[in-house]
Structure 1
Amino acid sequence: MREIVMHQNRLLVAVLVVSSASLYVPYALRGRAQGTLDGDVCPSEPTETTVTLTGETYRRDRRRPRRGFFTTGQNADLVLSHLNFNRTGGGNLFNHPASMATDGTRLILADTFNNRVLVWRTPPDRNVPPDFVLGQRNKQRNEPGTGRDQMNWPTQVTTDGRHLAVADTMNERILIWTDFPTRTGEAADVVLESNVLRQQDPTKYFEWPWGVWTDGRKLVVAGTQSSSVLIWNRIPAADNISPDIAVTNRRLGTPRTITSDGTTLIVGDHNANVPGKSAWGTFFWRTFPTADNAPPDFFLDDPYGGWLHGTFTQDGTLLGLDSAFKIWNTVPVDENDAPDVVPVLPWSGGAGDYAGVAVAEDRVYVVSGNANRIVVYDSMPTQNDTPPDFAIGSPSICTNTLVTNHFITNPVPASDGQSLFVSSDFDNRLSVWTTIPGESGAPPDIIYQFPAGGDGPWDNGIDTRAFALAGGQTVLIWQDLPLAGELPDRTLTEHIGSVELQELRGVAIDRRNFYLADRTANKVYVWTGIPSSTSEPAFSLDVAGPDRVASDGTYLVVVSPNAHSVLLYEVKGLSARTEPTVVGGQGVFNLPQGAFASNGRLFVADTGNSQIHVWSKIADALDGQSADIVLGEASFEDTTPEIKRDKTFWPAAPFYDGELLWVGEFKFSNRLLRFAP
């Protein structure tokens, strides 16, 4: 492996979160919380662009004529940014673990993207694999399912030592084992299903359950989509027993996590509605609610953008993670009660949706899903900046196995038919395969890692020779495809001519024009040819909240997620006065994030419905007809996100090279799928 460090203008990293109203809410990191990273513990994040020539090998695709076209519900034929279909790499390779729990002896981990829960019978004192797995038949598999012995995207786990409960999020249910399971694949005893609870009492149900907690007496569930916290005064011993209490006050946004000692109730919220406070934070009830809609006592917001994932020890110590790892020796009494200790935690991507902490036999276990590892303190940290002692699921406390296994968050593909380029805003990275890979799990040949603290590339654009990245206030342009680690020929920041770049969400190149979509400006700017820093656009198109754009030289495709639609413009004769053809709309698409037209075909990533709509003739879309093919689901009626070969989980970025269709999944899955006729 060769690594070349090159100077590059700094880019601004964008971090994405999800609300019930939209699939993304961008925000810029406002510095770092105390204790989240220390250059003396782990290498500091890069301040210059690094270009790595990996030197790894893979089987190349044998380009051969493929007959026919895509068919509804067909399998993908290849996956990148994963090892393979239905393959985990074993018990000790995670994929975005989201929480942890313990009864003081056993350690339980929700390995979310792998659709499983891992169990260690005794607290691990080194990097050892779990003893058994729930949700799967063995440690090698990761396909989801709906049986009581299966899961689809489990998030929080909880135990009192006898019961085990799992928030089986995408199956819209809670799984409960009334006696702690002892073997791989053991089925749950009790199921609480969202749709059944809603039918029984439309005022007391959960939707999209993320958080769950029990002490063996009470059970608490956080419904993220339903903005609710449900309380059972006695843990259910049979299926679909309705909750006793529902907290649905207007301050709750998208509650995620539950922490409690049996007296205090703590709820982490991604999109709270507290006047004068940030949307990210944590609600505290000093005593358990005993009536519906009981208001919280206070709200602890996090200026760095996080909400508490926590646990209590037997002596009343509260340990929690939001933007940092924090320890309170006693329960906070109000929002001004600062933590007593803030140990060093080698974060990667922050806590976000995936974090947890557990204490067993004096060891403190902290999971970070974005770093894909558990780090362990051999004893309770008592001083600030105490580093962890070892890691589980990783060879070191500083190694992110998502990176070493070439897993990409939010992959956005582009291809000239001979090479493959995949950008990521979250990873702030560009991966290049100099030839089309012919096997799943193939590693890239070249990796561009852009500087920390800059604008991650939200979109990319490609023509026969040129390539561009765009995000935030930055555009990078290569006039020839970057197939040998070349730096971009042009870096355009903040302004191009008189155009102020505000929030770039789309970029496209064709033989005539260069396009940039700015969501804040509600504009798609059009330049004749590739612009320099002083070039003025030929004109602009008024589009409400434009996102990714694409052009094959015949049609310019603009996605408008909040309008649930895709706009098609004829490139020939395009002007500021050109009226687009609107495809989709409310009730057809659900927050589409990407679309692509090529060779007379149209592909739309219907992200919220986990479908790719395909028109084999773009003329049919222009005539107002529905798509004739759907990929990622068995039918247009099926909208369940699933990480399977014939399914998609929030597809966001399609690219069609005239033969192969590449689809990058967004946020809650990190696959890059390839479909072939």
Structure 2
Amino acid sequence: MKFKRVCQFMLLFYLLWQSAVSEGGAAQEKGASIAHSLVHAQGEGLEKVNTVEATGSTYKTVSVKSTGWFQAGQDADIILAAPGFNNAGGPLLFNHPGNVASDGAHLVLADRNNNRVLIWNTLPTDNTPPDLVLGQKDFSTNGPGAGLDQLNWPVGVAAAGGKAIVADTYNDRILIWHSFPSSNAKPADVELKGARGGPGRGQVVWPWAVWSDGQKLVVASTGAAQVLIWNQIPAQDSQAPDIVLALKDHFGTPRSIASDGKHLMIGDHNAKPSGGGGNFFWRTFPVRDDQMYDFFVSDLFRMGEKRKQGEGRDVLWAGMSLDGKLIGISNMLYLWNSFPENEEDAADLKVGGVPGQPGYDFGGRQAGDSSGIAFAGGKVYISLSNGNKIVGFNAMPAAAGQAPDFAVGAPDVNTQTLLSNYFISNPVPATNGKSLFVASGFDGTLSVWKNLPDESGVKPDYRYQLEFPPSDIALFGDTLVLAERFGNIYVWKKLPLAGELPDASFQARIGGADLAPVGGIALDGRYFYLAVAEGDAGKIYVWDGVPGPNVDPKFSFGVERAPSRLSSDGNYLAVLTTEPGSLTIFRVSELGPKAQGIVIGERPFNLPQGVFAGEGHLFVADTCFNRVHIWKDIEDAIGGKEADVLLGYTDRASRPEDAKPEIGRHKLFWPAGLCFDGSFLWVGEFKFSGRVLRFSVRPAE
């Protein structure tokens, strides 16, 4: 079950990472905004909503609600937090770029979420458009595909010896152009493809990184937990590697490569020595199967302090220069003048700072998964996946406080184009059928559409930049509640349709109830519910409506599995557990300290991230199987029946673990947040996509 394993690693690591960085705050954007101070009902440290931005957005609004029900595999009809369907937004609007590479003459960038690779025929020194695109016929589209001229979520690139190489990640393959591409959408010459049956030895599965010096080829076969080495770049399809590093007690999901052909470094997000991020170093290039690494580093910042490595969680996205320097990015930029000799060989220079301190921010809200580094023409190019741009130094950095000299994909090194274009990471929607609210636990934002939009690509009327990033949202009547994982709660008693501040907020406790870590919130006409994870189990606190700061819960009850999302329509309370994937339904009329629910989910959910119960209907976001289950009658789900309708991946007969995520109009890419108003189902996609999709009910055919 390849995708279940891969998605599990990524989802659980991401939740840990998001918890670690949530205190750092999110990037701020200039614009028409009003700074507001917020006096809190309880707690210290929660002192303000950073900004409320009135965008001046105009858009077509819903005038007539649709009636009927959903149909299996139907198209979404509008998309938000994106330019549009199959619309990349042009050559210089990236979407979470992956690795960057150069052969000294060209610059190559994997524009990951846009399913394309961009090529500059001369090395850029400012925001210059690329000359060529692979994976698309032009710079306007971003649809995925599996042809030799198409891509699906490419992460890794390499360029050397007149060749171009791409890790086409969700197509489970490596594509090789033996002559450097000179036209858009040029088909690859060679395809190294993984086996669909699973991660066998030497197979290419969910590859994240490639490296080549024009002769050797190294591939991080991330889903197989292997590193594959060819002594010569393959000239034939599916040519087997010469060397396989399958260090099963060490590799988790290897995904970054740095080498000069003499040394090798592999960065791993789930390295087993640390139980998280870490980096494996070979002082000499491996020449035999399963050759053991020389040393391991997981705490880059504290190298040289004689601390036991294995305590940190740093992944180094790195490259090596022709003169043997190693430079990589993690929580900052690290530079070694020569390849490190051991785990105590600290970087010669550390560049950058953390938010609120001097120095350019190279941390997780700028770098993150799939960032990369390339050297060319004396310059250093750094792709920042979460920063959504390339930044460049005109020469090797020489000072800790040095900022990049230029940017590509942004007007300057400080502009965050995901925010300036109103993209949303990890969107969680809520609606009352008249307005739309979307929270982001990564960006730390709340986006508000005063009226329901009826066209794609439109920005919200208001965007709140919040002190703490909301991971969940609940709405009933005129009340809106946001919750952050560490127990910070915002409450509006009147829906914020004109930029109003919250009426109250709580930190860590309400009455005698400890709120962290929050495993979901829900609100109906009778109760306010807040779930807390307690190890592998959890507890649901229940109040009569949204409480004051000192009000104890009316009652609480335990659940056997750690909750991750809640939803209630006043008759049914749905409690979702992501790992292992299951759903428990409680009848609200029967709730009390000894409440017993009905488990629905010994069915094949794969790390589900979203649930919505409304008007007797039930919706479950089956995140890593890339589909949404819909029951028109929640009692059918309670009775053990399969969903009436599947959106996204709809083939019930085949193995759902083979369902690849895609950003097509009728496809889903890690669906998570859900809400439904009787006519429109809104779906927010998680982590590796950020779309907000609307599916409308249809008259029966």
Q: TM-score, normalised by structure 1?
A: 0.91
For residues 113-128 of structure 1, the aligned pairs below 5 Å read: 113-128=113-128
Q: Aligned match of 1:26 in 6, 11, 16?
A: 16
Q: 1:400 matched to which residue of 2?
A: 416
- Say yes or no: does 1:148 pair with 2:161: no
Q: 1:467 matched to which residue of 2?
A: 480
1:48 positional shift: 4.1
Q: Aligned match of 1:343 in 351, 369, 372?
A: 351
- Say yes or no: does 1:518 pair with 2:535: no
Q: 1:484 matched to which residue of 2?
A: 498
* Whole-Å separation in 1 of the counterparts to 2:640 and 2:106: 57
- DSSP-derived class of the 2:286 partner: coil
The 1:30–1:633 alpha-carbon spacing in structure 2 relative to 1, beyond 3 Å, is closer
Q: 1:550 matched to which residue of 2?
A: 567
1:210 positional shift: 0.8
Q: Report if aligned partners of 2:67, 2:679 keep a CA contact under 8 Å in 1.
A: no
Q: 2:41 matched to which residue of 1?
A: none
- Say yes or no: does 1:500 pair with 2:514: yes
Q: Report if aligned partners of 1:305, 1:323 keep a CA contact under 8 Å in 2.
A: no
Q: Which deviates more from structure 2 when the two are superposed, residues 515-524 or residues 438-447?
A: 515-524
* Whole-Å separation in 2 of the counterparts to 1:32 and 1:498: 24
Q: 1:669 matched to which residue of 2?
A: 689
* Whole-Å separation in 1 of the counterparts to 2:342 and 2:13: 32
- DSSP-derived class of the 1:19 partner: helix
- Say yes or no: does 1:573 pair with 2:590: yes
Q: Which deviates more from structure 2 when the two are superposed, residues 201-210 or residues 146-155?
A: 201-210
For residues 312-391 of structure 1, the aligned pairs below 5 Å read: 312-344=320-352, 345-347=360-362, 349-391=365-407
1:505 positional shift: 2.5
Q: Report if aligned partners of 1:20, 1:224 keep a CA contact under 8 Å in 2.
A: no
1:23 positional shift: 6.9
* Whole-Å separation in 2 of the counterparts to 1:117 and 1:421: 33
* Whole-Å separation in 2 of the counterparts to 1:308 and 1:82: 29
Q: 1:297 matched to which residue of 2?
A: 294
- Say yes or no: does 1:635 pair with 2:632: no
1:289 positional shift: 1.9
| Count of residue pairs the alignment pairs up | 646
Q: Which deviates more from structure 2 when the two are superposed, residues 623-632 or residues 483-492?
A: 483-492
Residue type of the alignment partner of 2:361: P
1:342 positional shift: 2.5
* Whole-Å separation in 1 of the counterparts to 2:637 and 2:28: 53
Runs of 4+ in 1 over 6 A off after TM superposition: 30-33, 36-39
Deviation per residue, 1:646-672 (Å, 9 max, x gap): 111000111111110000000000100
* Whole-Å separation in 1 of the counterparts to 2:187 and 2:642: 41
Q: Report if aligned partners of 1:516, 1:524 keep a CA contact under 8 Å in 2.
A: yes
- Say yes or no: does 1:170 pair with 2:161: no
* Whole-Å separation in 2 of the counterparts to 1:459 and 1:551: 14
Residue type of the alignment partner of 1:29: A
* Whole-Å separation in 1 of the counterparts to 2:195 and 2:22: 42
1:107 positional shift: 0.1
Give the CA RMSD over aligned residues: 2.3
Q: Report if aligned partners of 2:200, 2:224 keep a CA contact under 8 Å in 1.
A: no
* Whole-Å separation in 1 of the counterparts to 2:511 and 2:279: 44
Consecutive unaligned residues in structure 1, runs of 5 or more: 1-16, 40-44
Residue type of the alignment partner of 2:687: K
1:483 positional shift: 1.6
Q: Which deviates more from structure 2 when the two are superposed, residues 442-451 or residues 63-72?
A: 63-72
* Whole-Å separation in 2 of the counterparts to 1:170 and 1:335: 34
* Whole-Å separation in 2 of the counterparts to 1:528 and 1:85: 43
1:259 positional shift: 1.1
* Whole-Å separation in 2 of the counterparts to 1:380 and 1:629: 56
Q: 2:316 matched to which residue of 1?
A: 308
Residue type of the alignment partner of 2:636: D
* Whole-Å separation in 2 of the counterparts to 1:159 and 1:436: 46
1:441 positional shift: 1.0
- Say yes or no: does 1:560 pair with 2:577: yes
Q: Report if aligned partners of 1:58, 1:437 keep a CA contact under 8 Å in 2.
A: no
1:351 positional shift: 2.1
* Whole-Å separation in 2 of the counterparts to 1:60 and 1:87: 19
Q: Which deviates more from structure 2 when the two are superposed, residues 521-530 or residues 279-288?
A: 521-530
Q: Report if aligned partners of 1:306, 1:351 keep a CA contact under 8 Å in 2.
A: no
- DSSP-derived class of the 2:99 partner: strand
Q: 1:83 matched to which residue of 2?
A: 83
Q: Report if aligned partners of 1:224, 1:255 keep a CA contact under 8 Å in 2.
A: yes
1:346 positional shift: 3.4
The 1:282–1:32 alpha-carbon spacing in structure 2 relative to 1, beyond 3 Å, is farther
1:38 positional shift: 13
Residue type of the alignment partner of 1:567: T
* Whole-Å separation in 2 of the counterparts to 1:18 and 1:661: 26
* Whole-Å separation in 2 of the counterparts to 1:82 and 1:20: 23
The 1:505–1:37 alpha-carbon spacing in structure 2 relative to 1, beyond 3 Å, is closer
* Whole-Å separation in 2 of the counterparts to 1:626 and 1:131: 50
Deviation per residue, 1:437-466 (Å, 9 max, x gap): 111111111111112xx4x21111000111
Residue type of the alignment partner of 1:647: K
* Whole-Å separation in 2 of the counterparts to 1:306 and 1:355: 13
1:231 positional shift: 1.5
Q: Report if aligned partners of 1:99, 1:355 keep a CA contact under 8 Å in 2.
A: yes
The 1:414–1:112 alpha-carbon spacing in structure 2 relative to 1, beyond 3 Å, is same
- DSSP-derived class of the 1:352 partner: coil
Residue type of the alignment partner of 1:26: L
- DSSP-derived class of the 1:572 partner: helix
Consecutive unaligned residues in structure 2, runs of 5 or more: 1-6, 30-34, 37-46, 302-311, 353-359
For residues 585-596 of structure 1, the aligned pairs below 5 Å read: 585=602, 588-596=604-612
Q: Report if aligned partners of 1:137, 1:185 keep a CA contact under 8 Å in 2.
A: yes
1:308 positional shift: 1.3
Q: 1:260 matched to which residue of 2?
A: 259
- DSSP-derived class of the 2:113 partner: helix
Q: 1:217 matched to which residue of 2?
A: 215
Q: Report if aligned partners of 1:51, 1:446 keep a CA contact under 8 Å in 2.
A: no
Q: TM-score, normalised by structure 2?
A: 0.88
* Whole-Å separation in 1 of the counterparts to 2:479 and 2:572: 18
The 1:623–1:605 alpha-carbon spacing in structure 2 relative to 1, beyond 3 Å, is same
Q: Report if aligned partners of 1:121, 1:131 keep a CA contact under 8 Å in 2.
A: yes
Residue type of the alignment partner of 1:206: V
1:207 positional shift: 2.2
* Whole-Å separation in 1 of the counterparts to 2:254 and 2:112: 18
Q: Report if aligned partners of 1:60, 1:435 keep a CA contact under 8 Å in 2.
A: no
Residue type of the alignment partner of 2:597: P
Q: 1:271 matched to which residue of 2?
A: 270
1:392 positional shift: 0.8
- Percent of aligned positions that are identical: 43
* Whole-Å separation in 2 of the counterparts to 1:333 and 1:31: 34
The 1:412–1:248 alpha-carbon spacing in structure 2 relative to 1, beyond 3 Å, is same
Deviation per residue, 1:191-245 (Å, 9 max, x gap): 111117x78x932223211111112222111122221111122221101111222
Q: Aligned match of 1:608 in 624, 648, 653?
A: 624
1:68 positional shift: 2.0
1:133 positional shift: 0.1
* Whole-Å separation in 2 of the counterparts to 1:21 and 1:634: 22
Deviation per residue, 1:288-320 (Å, 9 max, x gap): 222222221111213674311111111111121
- Say yes or no: does 1:618 pair with 2:634: yes
* Whole-Å separation in 2 of the counterparts to 1:20 and 1:400: 24
* Whole-Å separation in 2 of the counterparts to 1:373 and 1:353: 13
- DSSP-derived class of the 2:636 partner: helix
